[in-house]
Amino acid sequence: MKMRNRLCTLVFGEIQLKAPPNNDKEKKSTFSTNTDIKTNVVDHVLIFMLQGLTGNYKQPLSYSFSEGPTNYVELANYIKNVIQELHTAGFKVLATLCNMNSNNQQAIQILREETSSRCSSECFFVINDDEIVPLYDPSHLLKDLRNNLLTKNLQYEIGQESGKVAKWSHMQLLYDENPGYANNSLIPKLTENHVVPMKINKTEVKYASQVFSRSLAVLMGYLAEQGVLPAECTETANLFLFLDSLYDSVNGSRNKDNKHKPLLGPVTPRSVHRKTWRESLIALESMHFINNRKIESTTPTIQGWIATLKGVQKLTTKLQTDHRITSFWMQYLNQDELERFFEAIIRQINQECYTYSLVQQFQMAFREALVRGSISVNSSSSNSDDDGSTIFSKYMVDIQEFGVTSES
């Protein structure tokens, strides 16, 4: 395996396990690797996955069960130990990737604080003298921003546009207008699941990315200029245009049309990505949400975007200067493959009859997903197209000694 193919990202996430009807609650004593058997109820599982930055591969590494979400102190230790094991196995972890739940944020903060005694940087933490860039998944950041916009207005400055305010009510006006001709709608794919707050699935990413699109923004802005919608709708349209470009800049892949949207192409020394990130950081730093009482509020989502853009700036520069990688696809910096793996496991569990315990069902589903390579199967609810990546198993890391169960 060439050195450039050993460059990788450590992706991790957690799902909640739900016991089937009439199934006894699971106890840690059914799987615990510790001599001190506990009887707490198991309802969460944390999974770590290795994902290549240049090599076209991904590999689920380990899982651990817990009662409730994994404690952030334990999570920080898991991250350190997994990275150390991967380095021992010959891989070079350059970044971590996760969603922005509170435990993930606190675990990353612990790792940064441990690094602060040696260097002062918010863009990375250090393990075994190696700089690791923590990133948050762009799709989840986009979804979280949408969820905040459902209940609060967003004030922003983009370029020369200052003091502008985006409102979700403008989106509802466009949906109610339903522009078209001869019973042919210009927004046929826009449904109440995209627009009506009570109908929106707050955990589904695809509904957010489909709303924050260039075509929808252009239509809203045009109708506002023509007087069909209120003039202030242009302020929301301009935010949507900004978010469309921002999301494209961190979501490009070989399977997407980058001829008409250059930001979906690879990051190169001559691409527009770095210019877009610099300008986007200025805009993001001006943003704040305003609630119904006209009181400004800060949300982790905006800070997550800022941290992630600073992180990808550092990471892509490091790939170019330290590893001579001058063309890089941003598709390798998202959680899509981990999400697909979650879906494959849940699908397998749902297919099983309830003659096994929930823990046993998960363990069998985990193995089944590995054997069948279910992770490479595209899902209708995933955030991007399947990139054809493959699972390999001979590099499976055994990390049972610090309490994480591995399956090969």
- Angstrom distance (rounded) from CA 393 to CA 59: 7
* Domain shared by 7 and 66, yes or no: yes
* Domain shared by 99 and 159, yes or no: no
Tokens in use for 254? 């070989």
Cα 180 → chain centroid: 35
The CATH number assigned to the domain holding 8 equals 3.30.420
Write out the residue range of the structural domain in which residue 159 sits.
141-299
Tokens in use for 277? 């990130």
pLDDT attached to residue 228: 96
Domain boundary residue, one of 253, 278, 299: 299
* Domain shared by 130 and 149, yes or no: no
The amino acid occupying position 122 is E
* Domain shared by 111 and 162, yes or no: no
* Domain shared by 153 and 268, yes or no: yes
* Domain shared by 146 and 277, yes or no: yes
Q: Is residue 325 part of a domain?
A: no
Q: 178 by DSSP, 3-state: which?
A: coil
* Cα angle, residue 336 at apex, residues 56 and 28 outer, rounded to 5°: 105
pLDDT attached to residue 399: 37
- In 149-254, the DSSP E strands lie at 153-158, 161-166, 180-181, 184-185
Q: Is residue 397 part of a domain?
A: yes
Report how far apart, in Å, the C-alpha atoms of 40 and of each of 19, 37, 73, 159 are.
14, 9, 19, 54
- Phi then psi for residue 121, to 5 deg, are -145, 135
* Domain shared by 165 and 32, yes or no: no
pLDDT attached to residue 373: 66
Q: Is residue 245 part of a domain?
A: yes
Q: Cα torsion at 213, 216, 219, 223 (round to 10°)? A: -120
* Domain shared by 279 and 194, yes or no: yes
- Angstrom distance (rounded) from CA 365 to CA 372: 10
Contact 124, 108 (CB under 8 A): no
Contact 276, 245 (CB under 8 A): yes
| Cβ neighbours of residue 178 closer than 8 Å, sequence gap 6 or more | 185, 187
- Angstrom distance (rounded) from CA 69 to CA 14: 8
DSSP state, residue 272: S
pLDDT attached to residue 47: 95
- What is the DSSP pairing of strand 125-127 with strand 130-136? antiparallel
- Phi then psi for residue 361, to 5 deg, are -60, -45
The amino acid occupying position 183 is N
Tell which residue, 147, 145, 264, has the closest CA to residue 214: 264
Tokens in use for 249? 């800049």
DSSP state, residue 260: T
pLDDT attached to residue 376: 45
**Could you state, in chain order, the average pLDDT of each consecutive group of 10 residues for the chain (408 residues)?**
89 82 40 37 89 87 90 95 94 95 95 77 86 95 96 91 91 95 91 94 89 95 97 96 96 77 93 96 94 77 95 95 93 91 84 68 84 51 50 42 38
Contact 301, 145 (CB under 8 A): yes
Q: Is residue 309 part of a domain?
A: no
pLDDT attached to residue 121: 67
User: Is this structure's pTM higher than 0.95?
Assistant: no
Radius of gyration of the chain (CA): 22
Q: Is residue 319 part of a domain?
A: no
* Domain shared by 107 and 149, yes or no: no
Sign of the C-alpha dihedral, residues 389, 207, 46, 108?
A: positive
Q: Is residue 44 part of a domain?
A: yes
Domain total of the chain: 2
Element (H, E) at 161: strand 161-166
Q: Is residue 322 part of a domain?
A: no
Contact 40, 20 (CB under 8 A): no
pLDDT attached to residue 40: 53
* Residue tagged 């089937």 (tokens): 20
pLDDT attached to residue 372: 73
Q: Is residue 316 part of a domain?
A: no
